Amino acid sequence: MAKFDIIAATGCPTGIAHTFMAKEALEKAAAERGLTIKVETHGQVGVENELTKGEIAGAKAVVVAADKDVQAERFAGKPMVSVGVSKALSVEAAGKLIDRALAAKGDDTVAAAADVEDEVEEKESVGHIIYKHLMNGVSHMLVFVVAGGVLTAISFLWGITSFDSTASDYNSFAAMLKIIGGIAMNLMVPVLSAYIAESIGKRPALVPGFVAGMIAIQGLPVNADTGMIDAGGAGVGFGFLGGIVGGFLAGYVILLLEKVFAGLPKNLDGLKAIFLYPLFSTLIVGLVMLGISGPMAAINTAMMDFLKGLSASGAVVLGLAIGCMCAFDMGGPVNKAAYVTGTAMLTEALAAGVGTDTYNFGTNFMAAVSAACIVPPLITTFAVVVGKKYFSQEDHDAGIVNLILGCTHITEGAIPFMTKNIWPVMPIMMVGSSIASILTIMFNVHDPAPHGGFLVLPVVENGPLWVLAILIGAVVGGILFVAFKKYDFEKNQKAAPAAKPVEAPKVAAVEAPKAEAADFVKVENVFVAEDFASRDEALSFVSNQAVKAGIAGDADAVMNAFLAREAEGTTGMMEGFAIPHAKSDAITEAAVIVVKDESGVTGWDTMDGAPVNVAIALLIPGAQAGTTHLKILSKVAEALMDQDFRATVKGSTDAAEIAKTINARLV
């Protein structure tokens, strides 16, 4: 059984970007220190790279970087540092966490290297504990919101009232889409409540958590005629806020009951789990939730009225608030607060129906939130293109990739740029996002889908104006970012006038890898006339060819590495291209294998839904996961943005020409 010096667990509320950025940073920081590490990720697809009991027992120390429940109780008794995921997004920060975790064990050599303030193991703050429980609920809730919101939005393509059988634009399929979407959206609050509770009280807390969420939706039913509590009456729900309160209530009630029933004989544990906990927790939580329904409904109404009041103050006030919140921490707690508020407003909007004031306000609010989230990555793209000489090659490559991230509503791509210069990059991002939000509100844009970026443009009302608002925000922010980088670049040049003579050795050092880069794609590893029935068949072919070429020693290990990466998120791109990549200790040297299938490989889940004709497969030794891997991947991704490159590789049947074309871009 493999043993690791460090084990870690990462997780963010959405499980899309922060989770894996923290994983990469921790792995790279451990490699720099000559330490072995295994990082378990809690992403949107579930737990990956799961830690075993033996690996936990054999580790020297534990790093938990998560804003959701990662079952940290498994690590009880081990030297551990537990922080939010945003504290591990750079290699430097991740390294400090590793040092701190090892220092807690009393390793003098490591403790000496750690900061004085880090020598004492950091205990998780109450604020972070509450935030972690809340984000566990949010992470489970978001997928319901996205699925339900997008399906509901798609139903509007047949007409605004196409779900209504009495309307002239009625369509039965649109009606079914709206029904399915509505059910998914209605599950938002119960799921939020249940998984906040589950984070606190584990599985027994799910039952009272779901019940609390349902009560938050319907409120306390009262008979309109008698004014008395009546199961057949109607109540006033207290929605999203009530779901949060109910989740925490349910979780801590379970913890209370565990103490109350702790004295029962061990052989009654089954009775506690199946009968006592669900019965008493549901009773207690249900009564409390019904009892506070009146005040909670009033608070919920006041909060919504406050937001509408901001709107009444003008587009500038509301847009400024939304923009600043969304760009403040790029997917962190403040950003999530704005986004979750937007989804809550959207849920009410879709429930109220098209044409109502609630619908108009909620969908306009959601459009402003989405615009603000899209802008920061696009600011970096504009900046690295216009002011290329002021950015490192690494930053330039990341900025180009951010074009895709931004267009699909993934704000986190801008984080590396902000962490290098929080001031003034954060204010610049906030300015760009605020401009986009303000213009979105002024242009009367309505977005009935909670996520997806430009992919949901067909259902956005006044979509072209929405794109214009986002572009204006991105360009203004981009100009400010370039101006700052130019100032910083010139200041550094003046401060170091003797830097020029050092450039010769730098060039020599960079040129040496060029010869190596030219060998990444060998002619014999380009296969131009293959026919694959599926994605997995293509990846299996590549894995076996890697062994035949002496690149790897175990085809199954390489195949598993490819599939593990696909499970994190598809590597299918657009226009028939895919960039599968395997990082494994079974791979002995970094290499690229290219396979072409003119008929197209289906089932790869590409961004535009097209089959894959060209797969540029990257094979990276495990030790080079954070270095060579990222360099090659960024260069291939950048090359795919070039139409000439795509046309040459896709159109050629000459293996030598394809190898030469790709190698030229890896230099």
CA angle 400, 405, 410 (to 5 degrees): 145
| CA distance to 183, 335, 611, per residue, from 147 (Å) | 10, 20, 24
DSSP, res 537: H
Ranges of H-type helices in 526-627: 535-548, 555-568
At position 105, the amino acid (one-letter code) is K
327 neighbors 368 (Cβ within 8 angstroms): no
Q: Reduced to 3 states, what is the DSSP secondary structure of residue 35? A: coil
User: CA-CA distance, 335 to 425, in Å (whole number)?
Assistant: 16
User: CA-CA distance, 101 to 107, in Å (whole number)?
Assistant: 10
Distance of CA 542 to the CA centre of its chain: 29
> Exactly one of 12, 324, 326, 373 is catalytic; which is it?
12
H/E stretch holding 424 reads helix 422-442
CA angle 35, 40, 41 (to 5 degrees): 130
User: CA-CA distance, 398 to 417, in Å (whole number)?
Assistant: 9
Residue 581 a catalytic site member: yes
Pairing relation of β-strands 612-621 and 591-601?
antiparallel
Question: What are phi and psi for residue 447, nearest 5 degrees?
Answer: -115, 110
CB within 8 Å of 609: residues ≥ 6 apart: none
User: CA-CA distance, 562 to 546, in Å (whole number)?
Assistant: 12
Question: What are phi and psi for residue 71, nearest 5 degrees?
Answer: 55, 55
Pairing relation of β-strands 581-584 and 612-621?
parallel
558 neighbors 546 (Cβ within 8 angstroms): yes
338 neighbors 351 (Cβ within 8 angstroms): no
User: CA-CA distance, 298 to 256, in Å (whole number)?
Assistant: 29
Q: Count the neighbouring beta carbons within 10 Å of the beta carbon of residue 303.
A: 16
User: CA-CA distance, 96 to 474, in Å (whole number)?
Assistant: 34
> Exactly one of 42, 133, 581, 629 is catalytic; which is it?
581
Q: Which residues are catalytic?
A: 12, 581
